[in-house]
Amino acid sequence: MASYDYPFNERIRTLLRVEDLLAKLLYNVEAGHEFQHHCALLLLLQILDVVDRGELKIDLLQELDRQRMVMAALKGNPAIAAKKLEGILGDIDGAADALRAETTKLGQTLRANEWLMSIKQRSVIPGGVCEFDLPSYHYWLGLSVERRKKDFDHWLKPLLPMQQAIGIILHILRGSGATTKLLAYNGAYQQMLGGSKPAQMLRIEMADNSPCFPEVSANKYAINIRFNSLDCTQKPQKCDEDVNFSLTLCNL
């Protein structure tokens, strides 16, 4: 199933962005080719830009503490699997402890690396990290795969507690809410929102062979979903067919 997450606030938007960047970074690091390690390094520098906005570390710790209180209140509930609950609580405690053990701001050790920052400064220029611009970077890309991976392990180590915390929070968020199977007539769907606790994200799932994709506009009162088709030669066009999809409104 193809899935699409749409965040309703900046906090969830930041978590999704970091999750996406980290997934692509780790994939490219593991692949090992120097071109993929080049992409991985640029992704690492993008992560620094994202986590530099706001107090992400404080937000993560607050959310982990809140989720621990919610989960701890479920102890003794016969409808809850005790071992699974203990495992979740252990994961939350481990992530929170690891975040607190990092006494500096997220990514601060990377910002203090003058060589990485010189690459970051040049990377905003199209083609700005060619070998004649940064011969030291060209030299690094020519080192062995093992050496480059060792460097990535060193650079990523301070960010792993953040990755663990974001993974736990988004896992809980995606698992919340009931999933409803719906039909968008003529490629459009609208739903009014209500309740005292507004959704923080919606999740749309569609068949892998679906000929269209969703675009969402939403506020605390309503969501509007428009399904569009793509041919890669012009801007997306509205799909006029009825579209089957599943919708989950998620909230922490």
Q: What is the DSSP string of the chain?
A: -EEEEEESSHHHHHHHHHHHHHHHHHHHHHH--HHHHHHHHHHHHHHHHHHTSS-HHHHHHHHHHHHHHHHHTTTT-TTS-HHHHHHHHHHHHHHHHHHHH--SPTTHHHHT-HHHHHHHHHHTSTTTTSTTT-HHHHHHHTS-HHHHHHHHHHHHGGGHHHHHHHHHHHHHHHHSS-EEEEEEBTTEEEEE--SSS--SEEEEEE-TT-S-EEEEEE-SSEEEEEEEE--SSSS-EE--S-EEEEEEEE--
Same domain, 22 and 95: yes
pLDDT attached to residue 36: 97
pLDDT digits (tens, 9 = 90+) for 70-105: 888 878 777 777 788 888 889 999 999 999 988 888
pTM value? 0.90
Q: Is residue 3 one of the residues assigned to a domain?
A: no
pLDDT digits (tens, 9 = 90+) for 188-238: 999 988 766 778 899 999 998 888 999 999 877 889 999 999 887 888 888
Q: Is residue 199 one of the residues assigned to a domain?
A: yes
Last residue of a domain, one of 121, 142, 171: 171
Q: Is residue 1 one of the residues assigned to a domain?
A: no
Q: Is residue 202 one of the residues assigned to a domain?
A: yes
What CATH number did the domain enclosing 19 receive?
Answer: 1.10.3900.10
Domain count, the chain: 2
Mean pLDDT along residues 8-30: 95
pLDDT digits (tens, 9 = 90+) for 123-174: 989 988 999 999 999 999 999 999 999 999 999 999 999 999 999 999 999 9
Last residue of a domain, one of 171, 206, 238: 171
pLDDT attached to residue 104: 82
Mean pLDDT along residues 49-63: 86
Q: Is residue 19 one of the residues assigned to a domain?
A: yes
pLDDT attached to residue 196: 65
Domain ranges, residue 217: 178-250
